[in-house]
């Protein structure tokens, strides 16, 4: 294999970089799995405690995903990241991903405040696509946070990409995602326009539900 050949599979990776990298990659991914476990526990505690004190749950559901070696390689190739553990660690921040889906917009920011306020969690990046939706209408709150993971021989600060959004935002994003893939990224204009309309409808729904809740319960929480 020459350096210009594409590396798309683990077999290619072994041929290109040797078994050492493949073994290191497996070990390396483990720490991201542990970070997902750490943050998932924190979210579960926040959820259970909130449910005990209030009349609704701030979380509808939580999904986690650890980037597969194949999609890690694909992302490295896409951004021109060298295939070394150090470079992957520094340049790819979404190896561990957690998506938290909440009923109300206020719950989304509450989760961010509660997690971000914990002494062992550091918020290193916030992209607020709720305050400033993407051009296609996508809304969600994206955070990169780090959490310490205690390995047998050292402690590592591991980044986790956290996406927090409402049920309405999540519904829109999942339909848009499947349309985007069906058209391989080139969505026809009429469909794009309709998705834009649907995104505004979803935002209106979030606003109406929050107002109704405040009217009925006299509080946004």
Binding site for ligand 0O2 (CB under 6 A): 94, 97, 127, 134, 136, 138, 142, 173, 176-177
Q: Smallest distance from the beta carbon of 208 to ligand 0O2, in angstroms?
A: 23
Active-site residue flag, 194:
no
The neighbour count for residue 72, using CB atoms within 10 Å, is: 22
For tokens 């996508």, the residue is 138
Q: Using an 8 Å Cβ cutoff, are 60 and 102 in contact?
A: yes
From 161, 176, 194, 215, the catalytic residue: 161
Euclidean distance between the first and the last CA atom of the chain, given in angstroms as a whole number: 59
Q: Smallest distance from the beta carbon of 176 to ligand 0O2, in angstroms?
A: 5
Tokens for 74, please give them. 């694909």
The set of residues, in sequence order, having a beta carbon less than 8 Å from that of 104 and lying 6+ positions away, is 58, 166, 206, 209, 210, 213, 220
Q: Smallest distance from the beta carbon of 56 to ligand 0O2, in angstroms?
A: 26
User: In this structure, what DSSP letter does residue 99 have?
Assistant: E
- Alpha-carbon distance 199 to 191, whole Å? 12
- Alpha-carbon distance 128 to 111, whole Å? 14
- Closest to ligand 0O2 by CB, 79 vs 155, is 79
- Alpha-carbon distance 170 to 202, whole Å? 10
Q: Smallest distance from the beta carbon of 203 to ligand 0O2, in angstroms?
A: 14
- Closest to ligand 0O2 by CB, 50 vs 102, is 102
Could you give the residue numbers annotated as active site?
161
């Amino acid at each position: 294999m020459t350096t210009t050949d594409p590396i798309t599979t683990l077999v290619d990776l072994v041929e290109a970089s040797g078994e050492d990298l493949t073994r290191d990659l497996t070990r390396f991914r483990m720490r991201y799995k542990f970070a997902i476990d750490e943050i998932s526990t924190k979210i579960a505690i926040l959820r259970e405690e909130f449910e005990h004190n209030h009349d609704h749950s701030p979380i509808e559901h939580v999904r986690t995903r650890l980037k597969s070696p194949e999609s890690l390689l694909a992302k490295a190739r896409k951004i021109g990241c060298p295939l070394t553990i150090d470079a992957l660690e520094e340049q790819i921040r979404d190896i561990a991903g957690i998506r938290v889906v909440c009923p109300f917009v206020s719950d989304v920011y509450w989760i961010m405040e509660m997690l971000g306020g914990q002494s062992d969690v550091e918020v290193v990046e916030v992209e607020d696509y709720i305050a400033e939706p993407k051009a296609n209408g996508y809304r969600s709150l994206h955070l990169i946070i780090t959490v310490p993971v205690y390995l047998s021989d050292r402690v590592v600060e591991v980044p986790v990409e956290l996406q927090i959004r409402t049920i309405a935002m999540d519904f829109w994003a999942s339909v848009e995602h499947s349309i985007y893939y069906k058209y391989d990224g080139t969505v026809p204009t009429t469909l794009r326009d309709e998705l834009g309309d649907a995104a505004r409808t979803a935002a209106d729904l979030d606003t109406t539900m929050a107002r109704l809740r405040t009217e009925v319960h006299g509080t946004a929480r």
